[in-house]
Amino acid sequence: MSDETRTMNMIQAINSAIDICMGRDDEIVVLGEDVGFFGGVFKATEGLQAKYGKTRVFDTPITECGIIGVAVGMATYGLRPVPEIQFADYIYPALDQLVSEAARLRYRSAGEYTAPITVRTPFGGGIFGGQTHSQSPEGIFTHVAGLKTVIPSNPYDAKGLLIAAIEDNDPVIFFEPKRIYNGPFDGHYDRPVQPWAKFAESAVPEGYYRVELGKARIVRPGDDVTILAYGTMVHVAQSVVADAGIDAEIIDLRTLVPLDLETIVASVKKTGRCVVVHEATKTSGFGAELSALVQEHCFHHLEAPVQRVTGWDTPYPHSLEWAYFPGPVRLGEALKRVMQD
């Protein structure tokens, strides 16, 4: 395959990853609502049915439980399904299949069977979708032993992580932050173009490559404070730090399970301060797990309490999306608090 690169947004990178995997492995199939002829509501699977046929890329009825149930059966018989759940908000009917079947299969069969399923789904705000098209339910899945949870923040990682997920022999939930799906903000949401928009497109290799699951990326080294982020929040953190005059170390977690605890601990022991930021609700969000881990492993190095910047503990609002979203102002205030303690 070619080593050449081209500028891609996240949707293009995801499409490229699936295309390459399907070309390398005839056992990979794509299924979901409107993923075939239409190419998905966000066009992430566009062109794949025409290239690989209707038996490998096919539409399903509107039944999330059925989509994942079929995928589990396919995986048990040796296929590698890549089902799409159209929005993460719709994934709840599939929880029983994901938790009771896919996540348990390796253990229940003493390793005789596995469930190499990669469930793709867009999550988070960004389209004024309100409470039924904007949720961030990653914390539900990180709680389930046997599931891996992956969240890219940029096109390069999206492609490499998705290839690694599809090739993994265990079930993976692959959350795609739709706020940065299509590259730079275009101002359609009644506010100025955000300064972190420039990070939403990047040079991506045309060919095959992997980004290892369970390895975080230090986006920006620093000595004053550690910021733990993933998805869209990585770009918000970059924007804030650029203007705040604080020497912050920004860590893009990339995967929540498995988690790169080694990189987190090394950073917090160096800086002595930590801020966690995510779009999901605060109560029982993954930030609580991160805060606990930092407390357990870095207690004697902390100079201030760990700060969490999150979505509010309410349903995601429609008209007040930007107020709900943990943006630059709220993250900047948290950085000031942690530096003053």
- Pick from 136, 155, 138: which is nearest to 147 by CA? 138
Could you give the residue numbers annotated as active site? 133
Residue 200, pLDDT score: 64
pLDDT (average), residues 206-231:
97
Q: Is the pLDDT of residue 239 over 60?
A: yes
The CATH architecture one would assign to domain 7-205 is 3-Layer(aba) Sandwich (3.40)
Tens digit of pLDDT for each residue in 111-138? 999 999 999 999 998 877 878 888 999 9
pLDDT at 303: 97
Sign of CA dihedral 165, 112, 76, 20: positive
pLDDT average, residue stretch 61-85: 97
- For residues 311 and 282, is the Cβ–Cβ distance under 8 A? yes
State CA 129 to chain mean position distance: 18
Query: Of 130, 58, 144, which is closest to residue 100 (Cα–Cα)?
Result: 144
3-state helix, strand, coil in the chain (%, to 5): 40, 20, 40
Is there a shared CATH topology between the 7-205 domain and the 217-340 domain?
Answer: yes
Q: Two tokens at 251?
A: 């860590």
pLDDT in the model for residue 191: 45
> What CATH architecture does domain 217-340 belong to?
3-Layer(aba) Sandwich (3.40)
Name the pTM for this structure.
0.94
Could you tell me the residue ranges of all domains in the chain?
A: 7-205, 217-340
